[in-house]
A and B are shown apart, each in its own frame.
Chain A
């Protein structure tokens, strides 16, 4: 099934072709190879160094953290797990994790449930003004949602959603919808039209066809957009900061940013680092497992050349 290739273009052959072709003579190939490897190493260092540093910090004792010159690789007596235990003992960090997980999963599922049918309607059904709707959706994709918190604050207060997970789930779902619609729509468009025609001849109505025939075929796309939505919801900060003020209901980014320390002039860098590791671990796992899908989603959402 090649459906999971939204950006599939006629020239998309480069990825598979063996690359050592170019280079007229042997000498430049070596230089090329060296330059390439230097670039690869730089890329890896650039991307990993801050995360790795945080990981190291999280296992260091306070003395090792605040030592000059900096301790890079702590000796065994400079290792500790106390930052992790402190995180869970002094703050309801387990709740933060559960909250983040719950909010992210529910809003992701809702987003797919609302977005996929809408995308299908825009892709295949005769909707008057569908083109304009699509433009609107695209503009909304670009929208910096920071501008929404003031208005949403009023809504949340009026509806009484303060300190309710729905106050996060609903906005997250809405913010993820435009991208979901754009990506899913391009997937639907690539499905062979014959499929629907024959399904109709077989007496399926549109909804049945969507559920029994089309959605199973677009499962890869659903996973792709779902992961993007999940990552966004897990990371979101401003709504989580504004609409949840009860400590046990906070999500990881806000809970982490508000760790305090028992001394005024000491910033709790150890627990911060431990919180960074715990809070990012699920996302690291997602990226490791679904790297290809994430790339597909990003490019399908953003690039239509």
Chain B
């Protein structure tokens, strides 16, 4: 029997009691599906096998290596993630710098700047589809009025332009997230540093490079890490806005996985796709975590 008389012992038991419900839920919703995917990926379970699992070793992975569509979707996802992150960082930094200034109505602007982040992506994707419509879309109309284009541009019908439209929509949606995090970082930088620096004759731009950017590195890294994970798994935006088209040019890994399972009923292969994507993600996050730790940034927020 455990000695429940010792207060420390009792606290330990209470602690676990408090933790267990949350942990059980996390295991059930996160650990089980991923573990299950590892197991299922060793089987062929599709319409060819009447949806019965048949052990096939690493055959799914062999198929994956030669699967042009998977590699294309991985490439699409990489391009999308990279461009989005770069644009969002620059824009988010700009907005954070603006919101960090004092001006009349700052509170209202901060609220407005948060709005895109809070709205449902799937619903706003429909709005973007309308905005980029080739005949009646407002983007083409503005470009026409500015005489930048003579004929209508088919934004969502061309591989490159569809990707651009998708990136615009995502940048709009998630820049506020980065801006908010960078703003928090900016607020923790002491003004004295800037004042001292400007007394030495430095311009605001020089101060930005010499003070703001280095001191903001932790926030930048963490914002990028979060956004990388979200952007790598993006689903609702391309699904509703372009459906992965045209010609698969905006098909992301998540869309391909969804199609493989929900359209082709290829569960074994879909599991292999989940596993590979999961491992890729773990590798990137691990590398980022190592870099963050080396840089002395406490990711876990452990103040102890």
Chain B contacts of A146 at CB under 8 A?
Answer: 233, 235, 254, 257-258
Query: Distance (Å) between the CB of A268 and the closest chain B CB?
Result: 10
Question: How many B residues have CB within 8 A of the partner chain?
Answer: 115
What number of A-B contacts does a CB cutoff of 8 Å give? 329
* CB of A175 within 8 Å of the partner chain: yes
Cβ-neighbour of A122 out of B19, B133, B254, B278 (below 8 A):
B19
* CB of B188 within 8 Å of the partner chain: yes
Encoded as 1 (CB less than 8 Å from any B CB) or 0, chain A from 202 to 219 comes to: 000111001000000000
**A151 touching B33 in the complex, CB below 8 Å, given contacts A15-B187, A298-B181:** yes
Encoded as 1 (CB less than 8 Å from any B CB) or 0, chain A from 64 to 94 comes to: 0111111000000000000000000000000
**A291 touching B114 in the complex, CB below 8 Å, given contacts A174-B26, A253-B123:** yes
Question: Dominant SS at the B interface?
Answer: helix
Q: Are A234 and B33 in contact (CB under 8 A)?
A: no
* CB of B184 within 8 Å of the partner chain: yes
Chain B contacts of A9 at CB under 8 A?
Answer: 188
Chain B contacts of A128 at CB under 8 A?
Answer: 12
Chain B contacts of A198 at CB under 8 A?
Answer: none
Residue ranges of B at the interface with A (Cβ–Cβ < 8 Å)? 8, 10-12, 14-16, 18-19, 21-23, 25-26, 28-30, 32-37, 40, 91, 94-95, 98-103, 107, 109-116, 118-131, 133, 135-136, 138, 141, 144-145, 172, 175-177, 180-181, 183-191, 194-195, 198, 218-219, 222-223, 225-226, 229-230, 232-233, 235-236, 239-240, 254, 257-258, 261-262, 267, 270-271, 274, 277-278, 281, 285, 297-303
Residue ranges of A at the interface with B (Cβ–Cβ < 8 Å)? 7, 9, 11-15, 17-22, 24, 36-37, 39-40, 43-44, 46-48, 50-51, 53-54, 57, 65-70, 114-115, 117-118, 120-122, 125-128, 131, 133-135, 137-155, 170-171, 173-175, 177-178, 181-182, 185-186, 189, 205-207, 210, 231, 234-235, 237-238, 242, 252-254, 256-257, 267, 269, 272-273, 275-276, 279-280, 283-284, 286-288, 291, 294-295, 298-299, 302-305
